[in-house]
Chain A
Amino acid sequence: EPEVTQTPSHQVTQMGQEVILRCVPISNHLYFYWYRQILGQKVEFLVSFYNNEISEKSEIFDDQFSVERPDGSNFTLKIRSTKLEDSAMYFCASSRRGSGGYTFGSGTRLTVV
């Protein structure tokens, strides 16, 4: 069964450093997403991406965040200057349509120290 692949699985970074989280969505999917889950809390929407541009973003997705699809297969989330409160599981997801079933990756656990 096709999978969404995320790397790395764990990332520890110092506060103020930049991190790039990587995702390979399912190949025939057109919509791409980043979600995050702070420990013990709900899964929260960050951003959706379609046709090489952001289609929707949440209030969490401020200027320190950016997304990119640098080639035909990768989808990245960059956090420019990490804060302690950015520590969370970050999930990439993709879907063929803009709503309905999404396939999530296994996540990257980001720890900011």
Chain B
Amino acid sequence: TQLLEQSPQFLSIQEGENLTVYCNSSSVFSSLQWYRQEPGEGPVLLVTVVTGGEVKKLKRLTFQFGDARKDSSLHITAAQPGDTGLYLCAGNFGNEKLTFGTGTRLTIIP
């Protein structure tokens, strides 16, 4: 059974600060995705990474995939209140099944 651990579980920072959240697994991902989930809604895909060392940017969000494809990070620059939400990492491990982490609940204080 593959497990994904996300850290921190909760993060509360002031508007304008930078932050990084992490996703780790003991197994190698064939692909990894980051999602954002609002209360009562389904996860919304932010990015997919497949190549070790890959870096993708989405405006103020930077996603990095570890060289060994076992970990990933999400860095947000100059956080805004609109970034508040639950950030989930999820991975495929050589099959279609997507395994989700428990998420990082981010709160940006105006």
Q: Which residues of A contact B (CB under 8 A)?
A: 4, 31, 33, 35, 42-45, 48, 50, 55-56, 58, 89, 91, 93, 98-107, 109
Contact = CB atoms under 8 A, between A and B. Distances in A.
**Per DSSP, are chain A's interface residues mostly helix, strand or loop, or mixed?**
strand
For chain B, the bracket of interface size reads: 20 to 34
27 contacts: A4-B42, A43-B43, A43-B88, A43-B90, A45-B99, A48-B96, A48-B97, A50-B96, A56-B96, A89-B40, A91-B42, A91-B43, A93-B42, A99-B30, A99-B92, A99-B95, A99-B96, A100-B92, A101-B48, A102-B33, A104-B42, A104-B43, A104-B44, A104-B45, A105-B42, A106-B42, A107-B41
Contact of B42 (A45, A56, A107): A107
A56 B97 contact: yes
Nearest to B29: A99
A45 B97 contact: yes
Contacts, number: 60
Contacts of B48: 100-101
Question: In this complex, which of A4, A55, A99, A103 has the most chain B Cβ atoms within 10 angstroms of its Cβ?
Answer: A99
Interface of B: 30-31, 33, 35, 40-45, 48, 50, 88, 90, 92, 95-103
Contact of B40 (A4, A33, A107): A107
A44 B96 contact: no
Contact of A42 (B40, B92, B95, B101): B101
Contacts of A55: 96
Given A91-B43, A107-B41, A107-B42, A102 B98 contact: yes
B45 A58 contact: no
Nearest to B44: A104
Contacts of A109: 40
